[in-house]
Amino acid sequence: MTDISSSPATDRPVVRLRPKAEARAIRHGFPWVYADELVTDRRTQKLASGAIATLEDAERRPLATVTVNANSKIIARVLDRDPEAVIDRAWLVARIARALDLRARLFEAPFYRLIHAEADGLPGVIIDRFGGAAVIQPNAAWSEAMIDDLAGALAEVTGVTTIVKNGSGRARGLEGLPEETVLMSGVLDGPIEVPMNGAIYMADLMGGQKTGLFYDQRPNHAFAARLAQGARVLDVFSHVGGFALACLANGAQSAVAVDASAAALDLAVRGAAAMGAGARFSTRQGDAFSTLEALASEGAQFDVVICDPPAFAPAKPALQAGLRAYERLARLAAPLVAPGGYLALCSCSHAADLVQFRAASSRGIGKGGRRSQLLHTGYAGPDHPMLPQLAESGYLKSLFFRLD
């Protein structure tokens, strides 16, 4: 593993913005420098991926301490606005401690997203906590190179004894990093029980999707559960039972979970059983769109239908196709909602903003033959803070409609 630990600013490399690059954006808190904004001479191109450097503007005035990856379209990421900051284990401890202070104020139990990348001052790093265990996603080259220091700082600050490195996903590919999931410390005997909104979820930290559980929907699970008291619920793209189990824990009559993954649905069944709701819970494995069509042909009706798909528009080239997919999903889901019932549609697509997603959803509901009221717009919980200068950090949108 390459050692990229930061040396004193006087000894480390310097990278420089091009004359037409907007230095003011960096000064005002924007955390990224794109490849066409940086002078990429031979010296810069030879830097180890994730190397720590001092960023200067075109007039050679120091701007920030950054990490550089010449293989990425985001060629530099701001680590610290202090150009002389030393990026070492003590620096990591300070960042994680600051993040922990916020979560400790927000949550009674230690189950939450602890580090939300740029918004928590650790670019490209995701850390989800599961009691005495945690999963690190080092999605930027610098964090991959400093993974041992990152894990050590995490254990020092939080006291977690089991740490998993989840090196999978699209973001790592964009950084030129390989896929690898490793148990770095501790022991895992199986899925971990996670209490949330009165429900019990089973999180597979080694083999599950992402870190094993999606904490970002916590407040939207709670809102859906309020609508679902005494209701029949359909949870599409359910993963390990996200919306369905929250609704069951708060008085839903029944819930059906739909997902393509048999393993995820098995964890959902185990979660329902652990909370004593197994008799009110059922699953259907298969493609979500095909399952919605099949349910319609069966004449099925539900009081609450929730669709929480993966990102249909993860990047701008996929935007139009993604919006069409969101519209189709709404069109197929709307007829399954009983008169006066509720439809929740969610998007975690970076490329589709709220206005575009809301328009696609409304078109789909109309094409599904229904008239709607938009009741509520939900976002990620406060353990997923947004960096105001970076729209991508506020990716989640959840729309709750009442259908006539």
Number of domains in the chain: 3
Same domain for 76 and 146?
no
pLDDT at 6: 57
Same domain for 133 and 220?
no
CATH of the domain at 235: 3.40.50.150
Same domain for 256 and 150?
no
- Per-residue pLDDT tens digits for 137-194: 999 999 999 999 999 999 999 999 999 999 988 889 889 899 999 999 999 999 999 9
Share of the chain above pLDDT 70, in %: 98
Catalytic-residue membership of 346? no
Is 191 within a domain?
Answer: no
Pairing of strands 281-285, 14-16: unpaired
| pLDDT, average across residues 80-104 | 98
Is-contact 145 49, C-beta < 8 A?
yes
Last residue of a domain, one of 47, 80, 113: 80
Look at the pTM and tell me if it is higher than 0.85. Answer: yes
Closest among 150, 177, 227, 217 to 383, alpha carbons compared? 217
Same domain for 35 and 97?
no
Is 190 within a domain?
Answer: no
pLDDT at 169: 85
CB neighbour class for 313 (10 Å; exposed up to 12, middle 13-18, buried from 19): buried
Residues 6 or more apart whose Cβ sits within 8 Å of residue 316: 351
Is 342 within a domain?
Answer: yes
Same domain for 136 and 257?
no
Which residues constitute the domain of residue 287?
A: 198-403
Q: Helices (DSSP H) in 65-162: which residue ranges? A: 89-106, 141-145, 147-158
Catalytic residue, chosen from 247, 307, 346, 348, is 348
